A and B are shown apart, each in its own frame.
Chain A
Amino acid sequence: MMHARHAHLMSGPLTTALVAALIALPLLAGNYLTYLTIQILILSLFALGFNLLFGYTGLLSFGQAGFYAVGAYICAKILLVQPSLLLGVGGGTVAAAVVAVLLGALSVRHTRIYFSMLTLAFGMMIYSVAWKWRDVTGGDDGLVGIPRAPLKILGTASISLSTIEHYYYFVLVVVLLGVFFMYRLVNSPFGLSLQAIRDGETRAPFVGMSVTTHRLLAFTIAGLYAGLAGALLPPLENTVTPVMAHWTTSADPILATLLGGIYVFSGPIVGGALFIIIKDLIVRVTVHWSIVLGTVVIILVMGFRGGVAGIVAGMVARPRAAPAPAVASK
């Protein structure tokens, strides 16, 4: 069955307007809103990587938080001895990608539920290590006192990012680049191959593509994006704690993507924004945020199964065949 090509929601002018708004944001909004938008940007990156694996390749990972935490911890360790932002963020991202390749090699041979369970196990193993290895990771206290290091470029210029506004622009640039690369990737032959593999697993190898290699690449890139997202956090928050590797953290990009729409490129981004904004608005009003958020999730799942962005994209695009449902089996 032919699968729907991922719908595109964002047109050129719309994207430009949004980027312009994001650039102007710190000038118009207060400190807190800028901080909140940084969180949205980071979650968007995290979810975008996740959805490469899920929406495009058909693999549901419960362990992305493991790579997120690796990125964060390595960045933190680097910044604690060598306060150079690029070194920290870069180092964290590379470390996460390396761990992703290693764990991916073990995981991608399996599919569906076994893949999901494996990734859950790996993520929680990273969590256990972070919690127990006090000498290196600080144990349950985590690492504290991480500096918001300046941006040192080739040993010449050094730009201080100590204010929230400055750090915001750094994150914005990184995330925009990340979104751009992901966009090019999913629209490349590689991206199309992934979707073909997702839809017709048995057919793909006959067409001459190595299923496992493709999946491993997707897994590594997803891990890289998770690590990058994680690495952007320590300079912002000054601390990293083991809960960053917990499966409940892995749930964030899953929720965000499902809310925004799996089969839409901008789904994870829209979903990330909605998830954070909705929760933020709820906790301003009531301490019982959990029941409200849970109800919202249930309503969205029951009512809008394509996710919010998915519905809109569906209305926008030409009618296409509905996505092929995964076979419900053991």
Chain B
Amino acid sequence: MDIIGYQGLIGVSLAMSLWLISAGLTIIFGVLGVINFAHGSLFMVGAYMAYTFYGLLGFPFGLSVLLSLAVAAVLGLIMERGFLRHLYHLDHAYQLLLTFGFVLVLDDAVKIIWGGVFKIPPIPRFLDGAWPVFGRPFPVYNTFLIAVGILVGIGLWALFEKTWWGRVVRATASDREMANALGVNVPWVFSTVFMVGAMLAALGGALGTPIRVAAPGIGAAMIIQAFIITVIGGLGSLKGAFTGSLVVGILSAYGTLFFPVFELFFSFVIMTVVLLVRPQGLFVHSN
């Protein structure tokens, strides 16, 4: 029994990692209607930035993470303002192709700048160690991830429900033309939303540095899982992304314990079932 409880908790911490990536992806889609293939690359950039600030330059861990978010925000701004903006009136396919081009560029750029060897800084002291849960050592780091995930969830909820910016964004998301007619600066909304999404991706990457190496192309594995989660939860729904992450994370953890053979396949089956039965996802109301 202890084993099952422990594995479930591991699944939750896994889910929180996935949640950070999926949140950004679903927000960008919900407001801009863009599927950002380069989301995984922003995750990767976040990891490299955190490694550089914390591991190479010796800044405190918290500051390093914040600086990584800043870099990602700038990068996101450049990507949206400089490039994506010009394609909104065209078919979705062009936006996809563009973000795919970004992936090709970014994955090589990090290799050229930091070299092809993976990078990892020392484990920050305050994240080291474990404490007993269900009679087994549960890492402080995994606990930290769960805490951050919940905080981000609450933070995003507050951001979208309680702030002026959040209201403007929601209005733009539900009816772009009307918002425009009411005087909302829609391009500015798009830019800021894209930056928030980019920062969330980078946060996921940066928080991984205590245990995960930064290497070219690490975003590739994440992006597919993020897609699955956002579809299950409903594109554009934060609640959906959170729930979807929990579903995928916990199932994945139990899958490793009981059915090692099928994990990837199962995730796609769930995604397919949701798409067939309730394509708008578990949390989005169909119009």
Q: Which residues of A contact B (CB under 8 A)?
A: 54, 60, 106, 110, 112-114, 117-118, 120-122, 124-125, 128-129, 131-132, 247, 251, 254-255, 258, 262, 288-291, 293-295, 297-298, 301-302, 305, 323, 325-326, 328-330
Q: Which 10 A-B pairs have the closest CB atoms?
A: A294-B104, A291-B108, A297-B101, A294-B105, A290-B108, A128-B265, A298-B101, A114-B279, A328-B33, A125-B268
In angstroms, how far is the closest chain A Cβ from the Cβ of B281?
10
From known contacts A121-B275, A288-B108, A298-B98, infer whether A305 and B269 are also in contact, taking CB-CB under 8 Å: no
Q: Which residues of A contact B96 (CB under 8 A)?
A: 60, 254
With A and B bound together, what is the CA distance between A129 and B264 in angstroms?
10
From known contacts A251-B100, A291-B112, infer whether A121 and B272 are also in contact, taking CB-CB under 8 Å: yes
In angstroms, how far is the closest chain A Cβ from the Cβ of B113?
11
Q: Which residues of B contact A132 (CB under 8 A)?
A: 261-262, 265
A325 engages B272 (CB within 8 Å):
no
A298 engages B83 (CB within 8 Å):
yes
With A and B bound together, what is the CA distance between A271 and B108 in angstroms?
23
Neighbour of A298 across the interface among B89, B91, B105, B109, CB < 8 A = B105
B4 on interface, CB distance cutoff 8 Å: no
B271 on interface, CB distance cutoff 8 Å: yes
| 15 sample A-B contacts, Cβ–Cβ < 8 Å, listed by A number | A114-B279, A121-B268, A121-B271, A121-B275, A124-B224, A131-B264, A291-B105, A294-B106, A297-B98, A297-B100, A297-B104, A301-B98, A302-B83, A302-B86, A329-B33
B109 engages A326 (CB within 8 Å):
no
From known contacts A121-B268, A288-B112, A301-B87, infer whether A113 and B105 are also in contact, taking CB-CB under 8 Å: no
B90 engages A110 (CB within 8 Å):
no
Size band of the interface chain B makes with A: 35 or more
Q: Which residues of B contact A114 (CB under 8 A)?
A: 275, 279
Q: Which residues of B contact A297 (CB under 8 A)?
A: 97-98, 100-101, 104
Q: Which residues of B contact A305 (CB under 8 A)?
A: 87, 90, 94
In angstroms, how far is the closest chain B Cβ from the Cβ of A195?
14
A294 engages B88 (CB within 8 Å):
no
Q: Which residues of A contact B30 (CB under 8 A)?
A: 330
Q: Which residues of B contact A (CB under 8 A)?
A: 29-30, 33, 35, 83, 86-94, 96-98, 100-109, 111-112, 173, 224, 227-228, 231, 235-236, 261-262, 264-265, 268-269, 271-272, 275-276, 279, 284
In angstroms, how far is the closest chain A Cβ from the Cβ of B215?
14
Q: Which residues of A contact B104 (CB under 8 A)?
A: 290-291, 293-294, 297
B236 engages A110 (CB within 8 Å):
no
A-B contact sample (6 more), CB < 8 A, given A121-B231, A328-B33: A118-B276, A131-B264, A132-B261, A291-B112, A298-B101, A328-B88
Q: Which residues of B contact A117 (CB under 8 A)?
A: 227, 231, 271, 275
With A and B bound together, what is the CA distance between A305 and B96 in angstroms?
13
A291 engages B109 (CB within 8 Å):
yes
B268 engages A255 (CB within 8 Å):
no
A125 engages B227 (CB within 8 Å):
no
B29 engages A294 (CB within 8 Å):
no
With A and B bound together, what is the CA distance between A132 and B106 in angstroms?
31
**Closest A residue to B88 using CB positions:** A328
B97 engages A60 (CB within 8 Å):
no
Q: Which residues of A contact B111 (CB under 8 A)?
A: 288
With A and B bound together, what is the CA distance between A110 and B89 in angstroms?
22
With A and B bound together, what is the CA distance between A123 and B268 in angstroms?
10
B92 engages A128 (CB within 8 Å):
no
A290 engages B105 (CB within 8 Å):
yes
Q: Which residues of B contact A110 (CB under 8 A)?
A: 275, 279
In angstroms, how far is the closest chain B Cβ from the Cβ of A251?
7
Q: Which residues of A contact B101 (CB under 8 A)?
A: 294-295, 297-298, 301
Q: Which residues of A contact B271 (CB under 8 A)?
A: 117, 121
B276 engages A106 (CB within 8 Å):
yes
With A and B bound together, what is the CA distance between A60 and B100 in angstroms?
15
Q: Which residues of A contact B86 (CB under 8 A)?
A: 302
A325 engages B89 (CB within 8 Å):
yes
